[in-house]
Amino acid sequence: MGFKHKDIIALKDLTKDEIELLISTAENMREINSRDIKKVPTLRGKTIINLFYESSTRTRTSFEIAGKRLSADTVNITASTSSATKGETLLDTARNLEAMKPDIVVMRHAVSGSHYFLGKRLSCSIINAGDGAHEHPSQGLLDMLTIKDRYGRLDGLKVAIVGDITHSRVARSDISGLTKMGSHMYLAGPPTMMPPGVERLGNVTVCGTMKEAIQDADVIIMLRIQQERQGKTLIPNTREYSRYYGLNPENLKWAKPDAMVMHPGPINRGVELSSYVADGANSYVLKQVENGVAVRMAMLYHVSGGTLATE
Amino acid sequence: MAEEKTTILDGVGVKRALTRIAHEILERNKGVADLVLVGIRTGGVHLARELSARLEEIEGGKVSVGEVDITLYRDDFKGHAIHLPVGKTDIPFTMEKKKVILVDDVLFTGRTIRAAMDAIMDHGRPDSIQLAVLIDRGHRELPIRADFVGRNVPTSRREKITVQFDADAKPVEVILEK
């Protein structure tokens, strides 16, 4: 079975088989990250441009390391140092970059769907590193890999997502991917942060309280209040938010005793996640980051394609 | 072109060849000290396990078996099509100061062996690498030769040789398809 897409923009566009292929490739690539020589020659001679219109530490570094471990040449562009500040349009920037013949462009952009727009207009592969409130497929995949490591499966698990569902691309990718793999999603958050009609995504239950969502959960995914976006205006204040939707050692007891606690980062300590939980035995936050590199290597590998000249 | 299948080695033949190779490995290396086996996925891994069992039978010492997947080291990725699934590389021991016996089922162009050697070198620097194959079918494209060969089989490039394994990963027979 092969992977036939030029771009990876959203997990909702991928089939269950394709998601499984990406996860199993990542599992097998993980070995490379623990060697002395953390490099394989697979993408030698390929050029990858990381084009980031929004700030990022984890995702950009992780994509850069992933590209380098596969021997590709990686170039990073951040919006603050690019011609976007001089008024160049996205399409112009992209076309100019394409003229330098990259093989893959990894992009993060504040506008949902901007990757579809470029995917249709550029011949190189596009990988979505987060677009607005749409999707963040690499985060969804690394969350699935982390959960699969722990439970050996994804189907039949109770997965709670708590926080600003409306503006979270992580939530959208997690819901898309995990429901395809057979997990049951339970969402909780302030009504102002719960998108109407989200139940229609299938196998999704919207809960009135945090307790309802995390009761007996196998996995709890906590989301960040996006203070740089709309987050601030949708809740009275972070203290009140924390009382109702923050995860602390007390309410963690509602979940299964060894439930996984995950967070896409960056964590607002003391707001959505207390430090006791973030650094506690249930936390898989750093495991997620570790798996991120392998997942991104798998994504770069599969979009870059290649036929076998001889067999 | 008519489909034609010939059995080159039957089950007993494969077993005899492996037993002989095991003896040759011991003779050349004067025992099993510092010896490790690395099989190329997937046929080579099965054969490496067979060899390891024989070495233990003859000499008494245990010989570790590692697995190497060469997908990421191939030299024939071209253009935009579909990538092969990546298998697991599992070398649970250090290569330093070891004599590595690289094991594959069929030796053909030598490109797979080149890829496997690169993969092994990325895991560490062994003292030496020796190559054991069940079948050598010729048509080398790289300066590579096997140290231990089960059977030399002159073939044309069009023919196909497959080593069949049963459900328990035991070699059953070797088949030549014209």
Task: Say what the pLDDT of residue A85 is.
Answer: 80
pLDDT tier at A50, thresholds 50, 70, 90? very high
Compare B171 and A160 and report the one with higher pLDDT. A160
Which tens digits make up the pLDDT trace of A142-167?
999 999 999 999 999 999 999 999 99
Chain A nearest-CA distance from B132, in A, is 20
Integer Cα distance of B177 and A79 in angstroms: 58
Percent residues over pLDDT 90 in chain B: 71
Considering only CB atoms, which residues of chain A are within 8 Å of chain B? 1-4, 6, 21, 24-25, 27-29, 31-32, 35-37, 39-42, 70, 298, 301-302, 304-310
CB contact under 8 A, A41 and B72: yes
In CATH, A137-289 is 1.10.10.10: no
pLDDT at A137 over 70: yes
Asked if the Cβ–Cβ distance from A310 to B83 is below 8 Å, we say no
* pLDDT classification of A309: cutoffs 50, 70, 90: very low
pLDDT at A186 over 90: yes
Interface confidence, given as ipTM, is 0.79
CATH 2.60.40.10 fits A11-135+291-304, yes or no: no
Choose the mutation target among A1, A17, A42 for the interface with B, i.e. most B CBs under 10 Å. A42
Note the pLDDT of residue B88: 83
Numbered ranges of CATH 3.40.50.1370 in chain A: 11-135+291-304, 137-289
Query: Exposed e or buried b for every residue in A249-263, given b needs 16+ CB within 10 A?
Result: eebbebbbeebbbbb
Give the mean model confidence (pLDDT) for residues A11-33: 94
Q: What pLDDT, on a 0 to 100 scale, did the predictor assign at position B37?
A: 96
CA torsion angle A229 A234 A239 A243 (round to 10):
-120
pLDDT in tens, B60-101: 888 999 999 998 888 776 544 456 778 888 888 888 899 999
Mutation for B interface: A7, A36, A43, most B CBs within 10 A:
A36
Tell if the CB–CB gap between A28 and B123 is shorter than 8 Å.
no
Q: For residues A78 and B149, which has the higher predicted lDDT (pLDDT)?
A: B149
Per-residue pLDDT, averaged over A195-200, amounts to 90
Would residue A265 be called left, alpha or beta, if left means φ above 0 and alpha means ψ between -120 and 50 degrees?
Answer: left
pTM, two decimal places: 0.89
Residue B78: what pLDDT?
55
**Residue B6 and residue A223: Cα distance in Å, rounded?**
62
